[in-house]
Amino acid sequence: MANFEKLSMSQELLSHPSLRVVSSMMGLSKQLQYVTTGSPVKIKKLNYNGDAISHLQRVIDAEGKELGAAVKACRVRSVEIGNVELDACVSADKQFVALQLLQFSDYLYHPISKVAFYEGEQAQLVASILE
């Protein structure tokens, strides 16, 4: 499992009011927790081909009622190795999701989108494209 502290969006995650860091094993292990429900937050790193950028970017940029249409139109499949990575933080109960899109260049993944946060019904909707 990926470490949330190594994500490009780690600062945004740590400053988000709906998340807290929970230590276990005498501080040796840290995990994010969604405060509202107490659900642990897991990290997903999904890879895509370059043609998926516009679909995923549309979801990240969508606001309000546009989100449902963007998710419905997002017909992309992850691949084993791709030049686009979607970092996703998803609570176990799917009531919280954070997304950031990155692209591979110069031997590293660089952020190409803002960090988008979703809670409640919107989070469940966005989580449906991450499976």
pLDDT digits (tens, 9 = 90+) for 6-27: 899 999 999 999 999 998 777 7
H or E segment and range at residue 53: helix 53-61
CB 130 within 8 A of CB 52: no
Q: Is residue 88 part of a domain?
A: yes
Annotate 78-113 with b (16+ C-beta within 10 A) or e (fewer).
beeebbbbbbbbbbeebbbbbbbbbbeeeeebeebb
Q: Is residue 114 part of a domain?
A: yes
Q: Is 56 left (phi over 0), alpha (psi -120 to 50) or beta?
A: alpha
Q: Is residue 34 part of a domain?
A: no
pLDDT for position 131: 75
Mean pLDDT in order along the chain per 10 residues (131 residues):
84 96 82 96 95 96 93 93 96 98 93 97 96 75
Q: Is residue 35 part of a domain?
A: no
Q: Is residue 110 part of a domain?
A: yes
pLDDT for position 73: 94
pLDDT for position 47: 96
pLDDT for position 2: 66
Q: Is residue 23 part of a domain?
A: no
Strand partners, 88: 44, 99
Task: Please state, in angstroms and rounded to a whole number, the distance separating the CA atoms of residues 6 and 12.
Answer: 12
Number of C-beta neighbours around residue 7 at 10 A: 21
Domain range for 62 is 41-130
Q: Is residue 22 part of a domain?
A: no
Number of domains present in the structure of the chain: 1
